[in-house]
Amino acid sequence: MSALDFRARLAALAEQDLLRTRAVLDAPCGPHAEVDGQRLLSFAGNDYLGLAAHPEVVEALREGAARWGVGAGASHLVSGHQRPHEELEQAFARFTGLPRALFFSTGYMANLAVLPALAGRGDTVIADRLNHASLVDAALLSRATVRRVPHVDLTAFERALASADGRKVVVVDGVFSMDGDLAPLPGLLALCERHDALLVVDDAHGFGVLGAQGRGVLSHFGLASPRIVYVGTLGKAAGVAGAFVAGDADAIEWLMQTGRSYRYTTAAPPALACALQASLRLIEVGDALRARLAGHRAQLAAAAATLRWPLLPSDTAIQPVVVGGNADALALSAALRRRGLWVPAIRPPTVPAGSARLRISLSAAHTGTDLDALCSALQEASDD
Q: Is 79 annotated as a binding residue?
A: no
Q: What is the DSSP letter of 183?
A: P
Say if residues 217 and 244 touch (Cβ distance below 8 Å): no
Could you tell me if 360 and 41 are in contact, meaning their C-beta atoms sit under 8 angstroms apart? no
Closest CA to 237 of 179, 175, 185: 175
Whether 350 has a binding-site annotation, put simply, is: yes
At 57, the amino acid letter reads: V
236 carries an active-site annotation: yes
In angstroms, the CA 243 to CA 201 distance is 13
In the annotation, is 177 catalytic?
yes
Q: Tell whether residue 366 is among the known ligand binding residues.
A: no
CA triple 194-198-201, angle to 5 deg:
120
Contact 102, 89 (CB under 8 A): yes
Q: Is 205 a catalytic residue?
A: yes
Q: Flag whether 233 is marked binding.
A: yes
Going by the DSSP 8-state scheme, the letter that residue 43 receives in this structure is: -
Number of Cα atoms under 13 Å in the Cβ half of residue 30: 13
Q: Where does the chain have alpha helices with state H?
A: 6-15, 55-68, 83-96, 107-118, 133-141, 154-162, 185-194, 217-221, 249-258, 260-263, 270-284, 287-304, 326-338, 368-383
Q: At what angle do helices 249-258 and 107-118 cross, to 10 degrees?
A: 100
Q: Is residue 231 classed as helix, strand or coil in its secondary structure?
A: strand
The catalytic position among 236, 279, 296, 366 is: 236
What backbone torsions phi and psi does residue 156 show, to the nearest 5 degrees? Answer: -70, -40
The sheet with strand 124-128 has its strands ordered as 100-104, 243-247, 228-233, 197-202, 168-173, 124-128, 145-149
- Annotated ligand binding at 108? The verdict is yes
* Residue of 54, 76, 168, 205 marked catalytic: 205
Q: Is 20 annotated as a binding residue?
A: yes
- 105, 134, 142, 177: the active-site residue: 177
Distance CA 72, CA 88 (A): 15
Answer yes or no: is 107 a known binding residue. Answer: yes
Contact 378, 366 (CB under 8 A): no
How long, in residues, is the chain? 384
Return the active site residues.
177, 205, 236
Query: Which residues make up each annotated binding site?
Result: 20, 107-108, 132, 177, 205, 233, 350
Binding site members for pyridoxal 5'-phosphate: 107-108, 177, 205, 233
Binding-site residues from annotation for substrate = 20, 132, 350
